[in-house]
Structure 1
Amino acid sequence: MKFLQALILGNLMILSLGLSAMHHENSPESTAEAWIKAFHTGKQESIDFVTKHMASDGINAPGRYVGFGFTYNPNAEPGTMVVTGIQPDSPASKVLKVGDAFLSVNGVRVNERNMGKLNFRGKPGEEVKAVIERDGKRQNISVARGVISTAYTKEQVLGNMNTALAENWKPDEANIVEVMSKDNVVYVLHWAKDTDEDSGLPYEAFTVTRFIFNEEGQVEWIGNLSEDRFVLEQQGYTISR
């Protein structure tokens, strides 16, 4: 009888431990950590994870920047910059339409070599003059840079991910430093080392990613706080007035 009682008690303990491990495996902390690991692994792994774990009404808020507030597909026809999306209430929303093609920016002609170096960024309020092509006709535009607060829906996030190049996705090195949580909010501190595509120079940086989970355990909000200035300084850039 004692043996039978011990056997039952042992099985109950094993079941309890199994349920505890299962709960931990599906916890917000483990999901957030696995999310970052997926993005450190590859493009398809990241797409699969976002598809499964981001809420249908989830929002990705990668941060703020000074600029126009539009997106384009860098993997489209070489040397072309065609507007694919416009941030609501941004400077771009006042003058651009999806399908507009940039021909020059502040007198610099758009080509395959300078796509990422055109003068869209800079001091807020400064005017940027550009030439675009719309419906087969050239048009001059002038836009004052503004502060853009980005926010993307799940559909937009997956759309942006699908247009990215798989070979440029994975960092050279990466690891997760710490995971902290309170209620439905999780913070993940992670580090990555990579090589800049334009300069060919290596850089490394820490990033804090903040997750907010809904009652179903899916990500309803995600945003980053990163060392953008430190990354630029490692490429030899300086910030001055």
Structure 2
Amino acid sequence: MRYLALAAAAAAITCATPAALADSHGMGAHKKVATGWVEAACGDLEGFIAYVDAHMADDGVFMPQRYVGFGFSFDPNNREESVVAMVTPGTPAAEVLKEGDVFVSVGGVPATWENRDRLVFRGKPGEPVNAVIRRDGEEMNIAVKRGIIASKNDKARSLRGLRMSDAENWPADACEVIEAVGEGNVVYVHDRFSATEADTGIPYEQRSVTRFEFNEDGEISKVWSLDEGRFVLEQLGYTISR
């Protein structure tokens, strides 16, 4: 039986058209992987991590959206202290912060979980922000100027960030792929999803378009996404003031 199965597989390859052979790493396969990525992102966190690990090239990169800020992230699972979990190389934060630093105050406001929405991290680029951090048990004053953050995250760094995410509140309430189009080695996926903010119970929704670029082996080499981030903030009651 094993011989017959192998023979049948060999015959199928021999009789396949050039177009069918090309599509094994062609547009049909690319669309399947790209839509699978978006669908996995809407499910449980561990499943998405496994999908990224399996389908992204080892030298692949995430191309996050630009924003005005400093270039670091807090540990989302620590609500006792504001601990720096990751610092992005080449950003203003990289000049003064280290992973493990603890923010004591920002602009005179205590850096507690309850005050997280009052901390003045966002604003115009070039403006300095004064803060107090604790490093190795000692407090120190720092000043950081906001900058335009347009960094790239490699696969290893991206997976590390995902593993620090809040798995319990990761899944979306609903998710739908609206369209997947592409040409050559590039696929665009348009989707929409809805979720609920864990702390407030406020529901929100957004649409996004994600661009996937594939290498010759059919692996994802670049991921770039454009979403309705401001629309989400407005649904959650945030305002942007000048």
Superposition TM-score, scaled by structure 1 size: 0.86
For 2:205, give the aligned amino acid: E
Cα offset, 1:173, TM superposition: 0.9
Question: Would the aligned equivalents of 2:109 and 2:115 in 1 still touch at CA under 8 Å?
Answer: no
After TM superposition, give the deviation of residue 93 of structure 1 in Å.
Answer: 1.5
CA distance in 2, matches of 1:137, 1:79: 18
How many angstroms apart in 1 are the aligned matches of 2:169 and 2:118? Answer: 18
- Report the equivalent of 1:160: 161
SS in 2 for 1:209: strand
111-120 vs 225-234, which moves further: 111-120
Judging changes above 3 Å, is the alpha-carbon distance between structure 1 residues 162 and 39 closer, same or farther for their aligned structure 2 residues?
same
Partner of 2:74: 72
The superposition leaves residues 96-115 of structure 1 with CA deviations (integer Å, 9 ceiling, x where unpaired) of 12221111111111223234
| Structure 1 residue 197 displacement after superposition | 3.0
> 1:49/1:25 Cα in 2 relative to 1: closer, same or farther (>3 Å)?
farther
Corresponding residue for 2:57?
Answer: 55
TM-superposed CA distance for 1:117, in Å, is: 4.7
Larger of the two Rg values belongs to structure: 1
Cα displacement (A) at 1:240: 3.5
Tell me the CA shift for residue 150 of structure 1. Answer: 2.8
Structural mapping, 1:120-135, within 5 Å: 120-135=121-136
State the Cα RMSD in Å. 2.4
What are the within-5 Å matches in structure 2 for residues 187-226 of structure 1?
A: 187-226=188-227
1:147-166 Cα shifts (integer Å, max 9, x gaps):
11132111111111111122
How many equivalent pairs are there?
228
SS in 2 for 1:170: coil
| 1:166–1:233 CA distance, 2 compared to 1 (3 A) | same
TM-score, normalising length: structure 2: 0.86
Give the equivalent residue in structure 2 for 1:106: 107
Work out the CA distance in 2 between the residues paired with 1:197 and 1:127: 32
Q: Distance in 2 between matches of 1:146 and 1:168?
A: 30
Q: Distance in 2 between matches of 1:85 and 1:222?
A: 20
1:239 Cα deviation after fit: 2.6
- Distance in 2 between the 1:101 and 1:115 partners? 14
Q: Distance in 2 between matches of 1:150 and 1:198?
A: 29
**Structure 2, unpaired ranges of 5+:** 1-10
> Taking structure 1 as reference, are residues 114 and 240 closer, same or farther at Cα in structure 2, changes over 3 Å only?
closer
8 A contact 1:35–1:46 mirrored in 2: yes
**1:29 aligned residue:** 31
1:179 — aligned with what? 180
Post-superposition offset of 1:40: 1.1
**2:42 match:** 40
